[in-house]
A and B are shown apart, each in its own frame.
Chain A
């Protein structure tokens, strides 16, 4: 479904993403992990059209989407969320989601009904009339997901939607992602919380200094020597054992 072909993104002398080649098949739930500054978010920005890569191609459904503006990529069915959430602060939660719905639905009434459904799915129904800026961070992360879902993507990129959540919120978010995946959505998830990632993802890709150093099932990745050295550390291995 999504294919990265030797994608490279540089900022001046710094290569943030170096020749990353990666396949996401329909129905995947792929996790991307890596230490801070490994290039995870940069990779998302390249895929979603915010940065143009210096080399390589991004293929979505066999179409070259490299360099397309973000809105066109979203209209094609590939939507992303932001690590630093960007709610439309002065608008209500429902209006936030409705603006997403309006990308695929043209009538206001249908879009509102659609948004109400999405808000319900994401467990935000009780907050629908609240101003987005008034929500605590846990709910704002969920709103970020809800709004993206409302655009009816076929592939959803989630950028650290679990960071900063308390254990209860975290469990709810994991459930939400599982349910979406069970309903047939393809997901790529960036995350720092290893425990959640190990349970959630079917496949994990590890970035380090912009390079893809490992890719495979969670158990295999967790025992990979390079991944332990670069990211997990010996403590993680001992704790897992």
Chain B
């Protein structure tokens, strides 16, 4: 119980800090970093639902991200509809796509499932970049800025709160996966599918459920991201890099923990933002340096704290508890 309380404190601290930042800081560059940390954190949390809690490790979640981004961008540019409506369309499309991918997880296990998800996202990339008449092809879609909440033309401060709302919402979705009957049974499926079946757990159905839900959550993140950044580029939104990014945040932060994706996002996104800002322009030769840092961080985490940053926090807390006892 103390551990659970400890987690709540960690998350409470994190989200409160994020909520207070816009009151003190008005610097657009800094707020931009906060928004991206929260958005990437939330989307990584969505990835965590399928991969961390249900154990269906996907490397193709950019597929759902891209579907969310495109749904809203197309609806608002072609039919002048609100991006909120686009978000709903994105959810619907991603639920369908997620169910297909989830069904695949019944046929393919482990790395084979991960490979099939990559293939799925690449098929969508090809469709989006070639279907010029509908998606504008590889040119991408600029999303016009129309001020207002209904059109998601918001100030940086408002975006911080919108991203924060999503982050908190997804945090609680993860908590549900941690502490509900569904969560326990999925943990069984993740640990050993055959054993879970023997104990009366309908593993296939639960896996499809988790992957489908994860897809819809990711899609919402994609919609918001596209509206915030203002441009949808098929080679970015459907990229393997992006899928890897969701995985990376969560693995570094701690898979199957509710706080992990956010911790990972804080570390990676802030380091990346800093490095990009510092090494752009004059030292153009070093623009890719953040990728090198990515790699080093990942190696260090996997070598020294395979359970992720959240695991380190839990270990430290256990040690203090022992020292106090």
Q: Hey, which chain A residues are within 8 Å of B275, CB to CB?
A: none
* 5 more A-B residue pairs beyond the given contacts A71-B201, A88-B192, A102-B184, with a C-beta to C-beta distance below 8 A: A82-B198, A88-B187, A102-B185, A148-B198, A150-B199
Q: Is the CB of B199 within 8 A of A151?
A: yes
Q: Hey, which chain A residues are within 8 Å of B199, CB to CB?
A: 71, 74, 79, 99-100, 103, 147-148, 150-151
User: How many angstroms between the C-alpha atoms of A100 and B204 in the bound complex?
Assistant: 17
Q: Is the CB of A106 within 8 A of B181?
A: yes
Q: Is the CB of A79 within 8 A of B198?
A: yes
Q: Which of B188, B192, B200 has the largest number of chain A CB atoms within 10 A?
A: B200
B202 CB within 8 Å of chain A: yes
**What's the tally of chain B residues with a CB closer than 8 Å to chain A?**
20
Q: Is the CB of B201 within 8 A of A103?
A: yes
Q: How far is the CB of B47 from chain A (nearest CB, A)?
A: 19
User: How many angstroms between the C-alpha atoms of A48 and B195 in the bound complex?
Assistant: 12
User: How many angstroms between the C-alpha atoms of A229 and B204 in the bound complex?
Assistant: 45
User: How many angstroms between the C-alpha atoms of A87 and B200 in the bound complex?
Assistant: 15
User: How many angstroms between the C-alpha atoms of A237 and B187 in the bound complex?
Assistant: 49
**What's the tally of chain A residues with a CB closer than 8 Å to chain B?**
34
Interface mask (B162-191 → A, CB under 8 Å = 1, otherwise 0): 000000000000000001110011011001
Interface-lining segment among A14-22, A24-32, A90-98, A170-178: A90-98
Please give me the residue from chain B that is nearest to A150 by CB atom: B199
Q: Hey, which chain B residues are within 8 Å of A150, CB to CB?
A: 199
- Nearest 7 A/B pairs, CB to CB: A103-B200, A74-B200, A88-B191, A86-B195, A70-B197, A99-B188, A86-B192
Q: Is the CB of B188 within 8 A of A88?
A: yes
Interface mask (B183-226 → A, CB under 8 Å = 1, otherwise 0): 01101100110111111111110000000000000000000000
Q: How far is the CB of B129 from chain A (nearest CB, A)?
A: 41
